[in-house]
Chains A and B, each alone.
Chain A
Amino acid sequence: MSHRILIVDDEPNIVISLEYLMKKEGFQVAVATDGEAALQQASAFAPDLILLDIMMPKKSGFEVCQALRADPALTAVKIIMLTAKGRETEVAKGLALGADAYITKPFSTKDLVAQIKSLLG
């Protein structure tokens, strides 16, 4: 059974690559384009891992992350923050709020896939 991955990002130009990449790796993929949709999908789609952008309409990635971690039903889901916010303090905040990894754009697709695989074990 393949792992399920939720891509959360409001920019179609990155979603297209991520979606293609994840499908190519054999994952089941769903996409959410804002923070609230992400929280709905997290319950409905029950992903194993979420690729989470920070700057999004409605709810920021930080808020989504904190909400996910507050939900006991979702404790197992892995979260990778994938974002253009690259300051040291922002990385610290992402990790403190419960993200499993924090990857800043631009990133290497190979590294991303490797990171996802290692998290999904």
Chain B
Amino acid sequence: MKAKYRFILAACVLGLLMTGPFALTAALLFADAKDAEREAFAQFLLPRLPLGGLMTLLGFIGGLILLRSLFQQYVHGLLRMAETLRLMLGANHNFRVALEGPPEVRELARAANHLAQQRDELLTDVGEQIRNAKATVEEEKNRLAALMSELAMGVIVCNLDGRILLYNSRARLQFKTLAQGPTSMSGGALIGLGRSIFSILERGQITHSLENIQQRLRKGSAEPTANFITSTRNGQLLRCQMAPVLRTGADSTTTASVDSLPPNLPPAEGGDSTSSQAAPAQGGSATTMLGAELHVTGYVLTIENITRNFEREAERDQALQSLTDGNRAALGNIRAAVETLLDSPEMESDIRARFTRVIADEASAMSGRLEATMSRFADSLKTRWPLEDVLGIDILAAAARRIDERLQLPIKHEDQDAELWMRVDSFALIQAITFLASRLQDHYAIREVRLRLSAEGRMVFVDLIWSGTTISSETLYTWELEPMTVGAETSPLTLRDVIDRHGGEIWYQRDKAAHSAFFRIVLPAAVTPEVPATDQAQHLHSDSRPEYYDFDLFAARDAAGSGIDPERRLTDLAYSVFDTETTGLQPSEGDEIIQLGAVRIVNNRLLRQEIFDQLVDPVIPLKPEGIPIHGITEAMVNGQPKLDVVLPAFHEFCAETVLVAHNAAFDMRFFQLKEDSLGVRFTQPVLDTLLLSAVIHPNQESHRLESIAERLGINVIGRHTALGDAYVTGEVFLKMIPLLADMGIVTLRQALDASQRTYFARVKY
């Protein structure tokens, strides 16, 4: 339109330009002339005026035609090209500008087409690269998954919050067999994505091991791993090895290399810069690499159940013991008797006979013992407590920290040999020292303790010293045999266990001259040379990690945070979707739960492996009319655990997740009725797919689970078992999340509020 107006304007200007000067000249001449001249002029001009006008008109028309064609070619042509270009940008990438119009316009069109061509090539290239990268990542993931499932050891990867980011089936199996009660519940269920590792392993040991690892990293140890033994609730022994997952910041290495450039060199330019900098960076790398921040972003735990090994080990120790100490005594008796006999030729014959009998008895007892030991020893395997070589002062520093934290007991360091290494289970040893300090504080009101470290031959002495008050020597003998407790923390081990495990000794001694007393723990020394710094740099390079390790797992940090914040997005929360089968529909009139099934949703995925599936003995008889619906018979519930076992286990399964159920009010009513008698309270938020369906489709008639599933395009199989229904409910819920988001319902609080406003929320059971 605009172009059209401009054309009319241009035509007017053209008209004016063609007639204007002529008319103006005529007017001026006319004004200047005398009357006679005007007369003559008029006489001359008027008869010829039509010819002049015609000529002018023709000229004007010719001008117009020229102007129009210029307009068509330059203005309209360009506008058309602009439209085509816009089309090429969006709807049709393959469209090209037609080469038409004057040469200038055609040149422009050609350039635009070239640009488009280049753009298309780039797009294809990038697309190709993305596809390749995706394929590689997928392949790496598959490789890792295959590798993990083949491992004979349990593997669990956690972030620093202790949330499980990855586990293999062996780890799951291990904890399942460790679980108490029916195997379909707890234990196996406690290990799951986003769950806390501290529900399975002791927090103290994990934190201690992490501290150990960090200390080693700071010192540049080539092998920053930590070992510990832990015992589960039912007394099984697990040997765990912890290895850190490091993020060696790529940016920190580049800054380091730039810093190490001589100042007169300009920063290298272009793509070659890294290789040209590599040489100067190498020189300083050993130190700069160590100085650079090594971020521990999580850890890998490998877990092995060594209960049986340990029993064998104990047996082996016993065997060895009876071979050495047992035979030592017997041999001593024989030797003493023989030597006495030889030295006493004057001995009377009846006494001589008694001596001979001693020899005969002891010798036959020795052979018996040897026989028994050998047969038992043959099938016991070689396994050991994982004692690690640790720098003595590190242990004392850690112990001092712990004593200070736990007991608020002032602690000082006396002479400590900084070069001493010992072979210990550091967690147990620190526990033992803390335990002793706490006993001194509680029973003898000791106000300050000191730690000393010294060595003699192959033995290391750790002394816990205090001044003033002395204790009776029996006290330590009693303490040795009690389980170690510090505050609320109780260890399954006694002090004696810890000492024996190390092949050490402990005693109470007084230093009268110094007016002090001390407990001395003797431990075997270890000879561990410091790892030379040159070996370390290689390990610290992130490149040296196996390539199947390039996961983005750690971005998941806090994704499953500890509490449930109602302001969090529905897509970020972890859910336990559950369903119950019951004897009838009247919870308040004595109907009972007979089956509980649940499945977890973490990170927007239904985790079909992380389930809870348990029949419950309702104690009351089943109603015959219910059996066709749920398909559960008396025979099936007989001998199953009762709700007092199942509900607490289910409660544990659901910890820290939002509950989801279809018509949740019904199921929650059953739970509520049991709250007082079983002492289990479900305090987490509850979402109901029935109410959410009413929010999303307020005009639909049916909000039955089948109808919703059909509407949302979900295949229903295995309905009317609790777990089967939980699966369907879970899938329905996952489909609802984006639909809710379209309505502006994004957070948990918004979903809860919207549910409350529906009509169905008023139904009570």
A and B from one complex: yes
Chain A contacts to B: CB under 8 angstroms? 11, 13-14, 16-18, 20-21, 24, 62-63, 66-67, 70, 84-90, 92-93, 96-97, 104-110
Q: List 13 A-B contacts (CB under 8 A).
A: A14-B332, A14-B336, A24-B343, A63-B474, A66-B508, A67-B473, A86-B328, A89-B522, A92-B456, A93-B522, A97-B509, A105-B328, A109-B340
Query: With A66-B473, A84-B329, A109-B340 given, is the CB distance from A17 to B358 under 8 Å?
Result: yes
How many angstroms between the C-alpha atoms of A105 and B474 in the bound complex? 27
Residues of A within 8 A of B522 (CB): 89, 92-93
How many angstroms between the C-alpha atoms of A13 and B241 in the bound complex? 49
- Shortest distance from the beta carbon of B517 to any chain A beta carbon, whole Å: 12
A11 touches B473 (CB 8 A): no
A13 touches B361 (CB 8 A): yes
A17 touches B340 (CB 8 A): yes
Check: B295 CB closer than 8 A to any chain A CB: no
Check: B325 CB closer than 8 A to any chain A CB: yes
A84 touches B473 (CB 8 A): no
How many angstroms between the C-alpha atoms of A24 and B343 in the bound complex? 10
Check: B412 CB closer than 8 A to any chain A CB: no
Indicate which residue in A21, A87, A96, A108 contacts B509 across the interface (CB closer than 8 Å). A96
Residues of B within 8 A of A67 (CB): 473
B333 touches A14 (CB 8 A): yes
Check: B94 CB closer than 8 A to any chain A CB: no
A96 touches B332 (CB 8 A): no
B358 touches A96 (CB 8 A): no
| Chain A contact residues, majority secondary structure | helix
Query: With A11-B329, A63-B474 given, is the CB distance from A89 to B504 under 8 Å?
Result: yes
Query: With A16-B358, A110-B339 given, is the CB distance from A93 to B505 under 8 Å?
Result: yes
Check: B41 CB closer than 8 A to any chain A CB: no
A106 touches B362 (CB 8 A): no
How many angstroms between the C-alpha atoms of A109 and B355 in the bound complex? 15
B328 touches A93 (CB 8 A): no
A89 touches B505 (CB 8 A): yes
How many angstroms between the C-alpha atoms of A14 and B328 in the bound complex? 12
A13 touches B333 (CB 8 A): yes
Closest B residue to A89 using CB positions: B505
How many angstroms between the C-alpha atoms of A21 and B509 in the bound complex? 34
Check: B649 CB closer than 8 A to any chain A CB: no
Residues of A within 8 A of B333 (CB): 11, 13-14, 17, 105
Closest B residue to A69 using CB positions: B473
- Shortest distance from the beta carbon of B456 to any chain A beta carbon, whole Å: 8
Check: B354 CB closer than 8 A to any chain A CB: yes
A13 touches B362 (CB 8 A): yes
- Apart from A20-B344, A63-B473, what are 5 other A-B pairs with CB-CB below 8 Å? A13-B337, A17-B337, A105-B328, A106-B335, A109-B335
How many angstroms between the C-alpha atoms of A4 and B389 in the bound complex? 49
List the 5 closest A-B pairs by CB distance, nearest first. A105-B332, A17-B336, A84-B328, A89-B505, A106-B332
Chain B stretch 339-373: residues in CB contact (< 8 A) with chain A: 339-340, 343-344, 351, 354-355, 358, 361-362
Query: With A89-B503, A110-B339 given, is the CB distance from A104 to B355 under 8 Å?
Result: no
Check: B520 CB closer than 8 A to any chain A CB: yes
B362 touches A108 (CB 8 A): no
- Shortest distance from the beta carbon of B367 to any chain A beta carbon, whole Å: 16
Indicate which residue in A24, A92, A107, A110 contacts B505 across the interface (CB closer than 8 Å). A92
- Shortest distance from the beta carbon of A54 to any chain B beta carbon, whole Å: 10
Residues of B within 8 A of A105 (CB): 328-329, 331-333
Residues of B within 8 A of A110 (CB): 339
A17 touches B355 (CB 8 A): yes
Chain B stretch 668-683: residues in CB contact (< 8 A) with chain A: none
B507 touches A93 (CB 8 A): yes
